[in-house]
Structure 1
Amino acid sequence: MSSPAPDPTLFDKVVNLTKRRGFVFPSSEIYGGFRSTYDYGPIGVLLLRNVKDAWWRSMVQLRHDVLGLDAAILSPPAVWEASGHLANFTDPLVDCKHCNERFRLDKLDDPHTCPNCGEHDSFTEARNFNLMFKTHAGPVEGSGHDVFLRPETAQGMFTNFSNVLQTSRKKPPFGIAQVGKSFRNEITPGNFVFRTREFEQMEMEFFVPPAEAGEWYEYWKNERFQWYLDLGMPAESLRLREHEADELSHYSSGTADVEFLFPWGWDELEGIANRGDYDLNAHATASGEKLDYFDPQTNERYTPHVIEPAAGATRTMMAFLMAAYDEEEVRGETRTVLHLHPRLAPYKVAVLPLSKKPELTGPAQELLATLQPHFMCDYDETQNIGKRYRRQDELGTPLCITFDFESVDDHAVTVRDRDTMEQDRVPLDQIVDHVRTKLGL
């Protein structure tokens, strides 16, 4: 079976939509912007939060064997020396001597030709470039005051292993999950919010008895792949790719990536890695603290192995947008719609009075107040109803509720479905239950 082809036109369509409808703005745009940094607007902040909430619901809320954590962003050098980041968290960097542009050598299609100016054999010798951001704590600069912005959220979960173990009374297998900001001084950020220097991660470290590591690795590969399918990503746009031996980190006995077919081709959404006992042993050695587990049933002491599913929240949000984007012909006009899963949709429901007349806007706002404790809602009384429907379609809002002149008399409203555009007449006293049933939440 042949693989589907990427759609290069989709990139510009989605980027334009995100700016026009308030999903994502270039950061500090009034000052000319700052490369590869973005602000999430009124709609984007809801979508990104929903992606993170859906991950947390699946990984923590619906499980009894995973606990949450929110570790600090700033860390001393000792943490990153123990983890290997100070020595090994590097990319090979080359400069073009003709146009002075910089590139990652391992990302060049042709290592002998500059993709910017086309000059041949113009690159400098490759040198390693550490991706971590370093800053200083306190008023005096110096090596004793160096701190780093974390390049990943994982290390805080390893350094808190004993704290969580002792306070939660869990025993392996169990996990620690975290959602938070990470920072990498990328040489070549790009593709909109896919690769940025400031981003959010959704990571979980699952600590298991060594003999069970292979079994849990297979489990988490399947579990994480299914999460994307359950939230509406089409199967043909996803794949689970096992790393070749030469791609594996020195401590990993297996790593697989959940990849999405972006407009530029297949690229990573999430990595699931069997990290062995490398991390706990490294921090135990460097800190002098024990990071192991004593099993009273077997009278055995061991260092747990770790299975790590690590996803990028921002790039996952982007993938859901691209998977949901659709253009279709409706009565001779093109309708742009985001078929977002209701759990991810920024607004679950929009309340739209048919006109601005007080006899409609007053009761419509009362209806809004009835719905807001249960769902994230939008309210719009500007432009004709058809244009308002189209706007909500572009926001991915699953349901629109129109309060019209008949509603004053029959105490019912019209509920329009985003995907089918079918309309139901629903009594006001049943509206909350109706919306909840339609959304399936």
Structure 2
Amino acid sequence: MVDNVMEKIVALCKRRGFIFPSSEIYGGLRGFWDYGPLGVELKNNIKREWWKSIVYQRDDVVGIDASIIMNPDVWQASGHTEAFTDPLVECKVCHVRLRADKEEEIAAHGKEHKEKTSWTQSKRFNLLTEVYLGVTEPKQKAYLRGEITQGVFTNFRNVVDSTRIKIPFGIAQIGKAFRNEITPGNFIYRSREFEQMELEYFVKPDDTEVNKWFAYWKEQRMNWYLSLGLQKDNLRFRAHKEDERAHYAKHAEDIEYNAPFGWSEFEGIHHRGDWDLSRHKLTYTNDDGEEFTPWVIETSGGVDRSTLFFLIDAYHEEENRVVLKLHPKLAPCKVAVFPLLANKPELVSVAKEIYSALKKDLNGMVAFDDRGNIGKRYYSQDEIGTPWCVTVDFQTLEDKTVTVRDRDTMRQERIAIKELSKYFSKTFLRI
């Protein structure tokens, strides 16, 4: 069942232009993926909604966009060059390497290779990806960032000085990170290049204060996913045990999704304490002249993992169709416009006028399709999650109304052409 569901999701993503294997014409590269025309829209919509809720709708959060490559001393100071590791074991027979803490993968490897397998002792494998800079020898070693967080901390003083923002406050960022994963897998869930959406929220170094904000951000982040359509029964919190916390975390809880391959983390809420700012020797001075090192509450979500789970959650098979019941705010295409018949110029002309008008008026992608029969066009849009289809038919020529079809209910209603933009604008405001 697990393989069946994931195979269908992967096939749909490839067939309809959501996600492709990277550099596929050269055989691809494990752990790397490209987003197609629909995938980039879905991914951007997720990021846009996150940024809106975290930055635009708040007075206490600002955004930055830090460099992917930083001075390597950053990673030395943050502890990543020493502690950003996973346990690794290697099969002595076939030399495949797996994470030592993934017992199911190790067991599956043993079943797949019927000969006896023998594993090396576990050792720590650093996940930072090294790069070399410069055109002359010796070249300078640097790292592709393993997390986007450190760019926030190294800019802490710049942000405070330039914005004069006061504690408690947050700095938000969306960006690429890179990890030399031992065993990438489960489609885009675990890859070597991925995107994160993170908030670092700075508070006074006080247990009562940090507990209050930790609980607050837990609730905020869970409610955000629920508001965009993820089913409540498929979500849960899981607290990290002491021996599984990252080197910087005093306390950590994950938001997990009940994926076909088991409960899987896709956002973490972390109490980082003063680990980062103290390592970078950064402090804050309040209006009373009191200097202290703030504590940090972090929310760290995976854009790619969220994309995958929104797709899985939205995927439905019905009697005659496959439908992605994506929240309209996330749907790659908001509205599709059809002439009933492609060989009737009078219908095509009106449909193209409506299409052009909606493209200007709606904040999102609008599609035009005149190929095949109308039923197949409806089902084609259902499969990519388009919430509404507008059909221009012969009645349109008489009374200047069109049919608007709802994706989820398949109900249809007549709407005047001149009211379409207002109709969709009001609909988006209600959701």
Q: TM-score range by the shorter chain?
A: over 0.9
Name 2:123's counterpart in structure 1: 127
Pair 345,141 (structure 1): closer, same or farther in 2 beyond 3 Å: farther
Distance 2:214 2:337 in 1: 46
Name 1:316's counterpart in structure 2: 306
Contact 2:46-2:303 within 8 A present in 1 as well? yes
Name 2:222's counterpart in structure 1: 225
Distance 1:302 1:104 in 2: 40
- The match for 1:350 among 336, 348, 356 is 336
Distance 1:58 1:379 in 2: 31
- Matching of residue 206 in structure 1 with residue 192 in structure 2: no
Name 2:350's counterpart in structure 1: 363
Higher mean C-alpha displacement, 191-200 vs 7-16: 7-16
Distance 2:76 2:311 in 1: 38
- The match for 1:435 among 417, 420, 424 is 424
**Matched residue of 1:372: which SS?**
helix
Aligned AA (1:59): I
**Matched residue of 1:365: which SS?**
helix
How far is the alpha carbon of 1:47 from its aligned partner? 0.4
Distance 1:352 1:166 in 2: 54
Over 6 Å off, 4+ runs = 110-113
- The match for 1:420 among 387, 390, 409 is 409
Residues 342-362 of structure 1: CA deviation (Å, up to 9, x unaligned): 110001111111111221111
Aligned AA (1:370): A
Name 1:253's counterpart in structure 2: 250
**Matched residue of 1:359: which SS?**
helix
Aligned AA (1:295): N
Superposition RMSD in Å: 1.6
Residues 193-229 of structure 1: CA deviation (Å, up to 9, x unaligned): 0000011000110011112111111111111111111
Pair 141,424 (structure 1): closer, same or farther in 2 beyond 3 Å: farther
Distance 1:112 1:268 in 2: 22
Contact 2:92-2:117 within 8 A present in 1 as well? no
Contact 1:240-1:257 within 8 A present in 2 as well? yes
**Matched residue of 1:75: which SS?**
coil
- Matching of residue 325 in structure 1 with residue 320 in structure 2: no
Distance 2:108 2:91 in 1: 9
How far is the alpha carbon of 1:109 from its aligned partner? 3.2
Superposition TM-score, scaled by structure 1 size: 0.93
How far is the alpha carbon of 1:416 from its aligned partner? 0.2
**Matched residue of 2:94: which SS?**
coil
Structure 1: stretches of 5+ with no match in the other structure: 1-5, 285-290
**Matched residue of 1:391: which SS?**
helix
Structure 2: stretches of 5+ with no match in the other structure: none
Pair 141,11 (structure 1): closer, same or farther in 2 beyond 3 Å: farther
Contact 2:129-2:144 within 8 A present in 1 as well? yes
Superposition TM-score, scaled by structure 2 size: 0.95
Name 1:3's counterpart in structure 2: none
Distance 2:75 2:61 in 1: 25
Pair 250,179 (structure 1): closer, same or farther in 2 beyond 3 Å: closer
Higher mean C-alpha displacement, 204-213 vs 316-325: 204-213
**Matched residue of 2:92: which SS?**
coil
How far is the alpha carbon of 1:7 from its aligned partner? 5.1
Contact 2:253-2:270 within 8 A present in 1 as well? yes
How far is the alpha carbon of 1:249 from its aligned partner? 3.2
How far is the alpha carbon of 1:142 from its aligned partner? 3.1
Matches within 5 A, 1:372-383: 372-373=359-360, 374-375=362-363, 376-383=365-372
Distance 1:231 1:119 in 2: 48
Pair 62,383 (structure 1): closer, same or farther in 2 beyond 3 Å: same
Distance 1:20 1:366 in 2: 29
Name 1:160's counterpart in structure 2: 155
Pair 119,175 (structure 1): closer, same or farther in 2 beyond 3 Å: farther
- The match for 1:27 among 22, 28, 36 is 22
Contact 2:98-2:105 within 8 A present in 1 as well? no
Distance 1:306 1:50 in 2: 27
**Matched residue of 1:309: which SS?**
strand
Higher mean C-alpha displacement, 101-110 vs 60-69: 101-110
Distance 1:340 1:152 in 2: 29
- The match for 1:283 among 277, 280, 284 is 280
Distance 1:352 1:271 in 2: 43
Contact 2:55-2:62 within 8 A present in 1 as well? yes
Higher mean C-alpha displacement, 431-440 vs 300-309: 431-440
Distance 1:74 1:249 in 2: 22
Name 2:86's counterpart in structure 1: 91
Contact 2:32-2:192 within 8 A present in 1 as well? yes
Q: Between the two proteins, what is the percent identity of the paired residues? A: 50
Pair 429,264 (structure 1): closer, same or farther in 2 beyond 3 Å: same
Contact 1:83-1:283 within 8 A present in 2 as well? yes
- Matching of residue 294 in structure 1 with residue 285 in structure 2: yes
Residues 223-247 of structure 1: CA deviation (Å, up to 9, x unaligned): 1111111100000000011122222
Name 1:307's counterpart in structure 2: 297
Name 2:391's counterpart in structure 1: 402
Distance 1:252 1:33 in 2: 36
How far is the alpha carbon of 1:383 from its aligned partner? 0.6
Pair 228,110 (structure 1): closer, same or farther in 2 beyond 3 Å: closer
Distance 2:336 2:108 in 1: 52
Aligned residues: 424
Name 1:103's counterpart in structure 2: 98
**Matched residue of 1:109: which SS?**
helix
Pair 366,191 (structure 1): closer, same or farther in 2 beyond 3 Å: same
Name 2:52's counterpart in structure 1: 57
Distance 2:96 2:132 in 1: 29
**Matched residue of 2:318: which SS?**
strand
Residues 357-383 of structure 1: CA deviation (Å, up to 9, x unaligned): 221111111111111122420111111
